[in-house]
Amino acid sequence: MTRQSRSAISADRKRALRLAGALIGVAVALGACQHTGQEVVTTSSFPDDYRLRHPIAIQEADRAVIVFVGRGRGGLTATQRADVMGMAQGWHKEGTGGISIDMPVDTPNARAAADTLREIQATLAAAGVPPRGVAVRQYRPEDPKHMAAIRLTYPKITATAGPCGLWPDDLGPSIHNRGYFDNKPYYNFGCASQRNLASMVDNPSDLVQPREETPPYAPRRNIAFDKYRRGLTTTTNYPESDKAKLSDTGK
């Protein structure tokens, strides 16, 4: 080996040592940036409050009435006529769009359905629904074995919550149950009550804002003020109230 080759090898070793030293210095510098104390950040996958976990959403949905029509008789029965009339009254109160009527065609009951459609339109008109507020659409059922019916729908504002019945974690003591040892409610807790409240509320806007106050009953208020002005008691006597008591305790 010549002197020149030995000097070249020595130079390569020096460069490798310098590179290794630089990498060690970078590692030490990065290690100095770490915190000495251990910080544990605990996050919950869902909020503890059931109203936030299962919020009630205000959205637009369809109200539908299904009118079944046989092959040999057209027109509405008494029950169907009441359903259509009730739908027209509901449309005046809560409808946010027109009424759509899905009419079956090319079916065994198509002729009877056409007669029923005319009576439906007459019933809606008698209830005050304008003709421009009703749109008729034709459809062909996918399965001819199923009875083709007339479907009436209109959009309205509704409240909904859920879906319920979701169980992402175990309920018992388990490593897969993140809230058991912290005494936190399970995920499905409160979903049914929220869903029932959303389905029972008459006006969905009541869940967002209060209604305006109704005017007071002036005649009764005037009677109470007149008794107060004359120094009489303003309480109301109910003579029949004692007759409904089952016990004399407290007398």
Assigned domain for 162 exists = no
Between 184 and 145, the higher pLDDT residue: 184
Q: What Rg, from alpha-carbon coordinates, does the chain have? A: 38
Assigned domain for 74 exists = yes
Across 127-132, average pLDDT: 94
Task: Please give the span between the terminal C-alpha atoms of the chain, in angstroms, as a whole number.
Answer: 124
- pLDDT of 28: 47
Residue-wise pLDDT tens digits, 94-120: 999 999 999 999 898 999 999 999 999
List the CATH number of the domain containing 85.
Answer: 3.30.1330.60
Assigned domain for 112 exists = yes
Whether residue 170 has pLDDT greater than 90: no
Assigned domain for 180 exists = no
- Split into its structural domains, the chain has a count of 1
Query: pLDDT-based confidence at 35, cuts 50/70/90?
Result: very low
Assigned domain for 247 exists = no
By CB neighbour count within 10 A (0-12 exposed, 13-18 middle, 19+ buried), where does 141 fall?
middle
Helix-helix angle 78-94:110-126, to 10 degrees: 50
| Boundaries of domain holding 90 | 60-156
Residue-wise pLDDT tens digits, 203-239: 999 998 888 888 888 888 898 899 999 998 888 777 7
- pLDDT of 48: 84
CA angle at 163 for the pair 161 and 167, rounded to the nearest 5°: 130
- pLDDT of 36: 44
Q: Where are the alpha helices (DSSP H) in the chain?
A: 3-32, 50-53, 78-94, 110-126, 191-200, 218-229
Q: Do the strands 99-104 and 134-139 form a parallel or antiparallel pair, or are they unpaired?
A: parallel
* 3-class SS of residue 203: coil
Assigned domain for 203 exists = no
Phi, psi angle pair for 112, to nearest 5°: -65, -35
- pLDDT of 242: 66
Q: Please tell me whether the overall predicted TM-score, pTM, comes out greater than 0.75 for this model.
A: no
Across 56-76, average pLDDT: 92
Assigned domain for 243 exists = no
Assigned domain for 219 exists = no
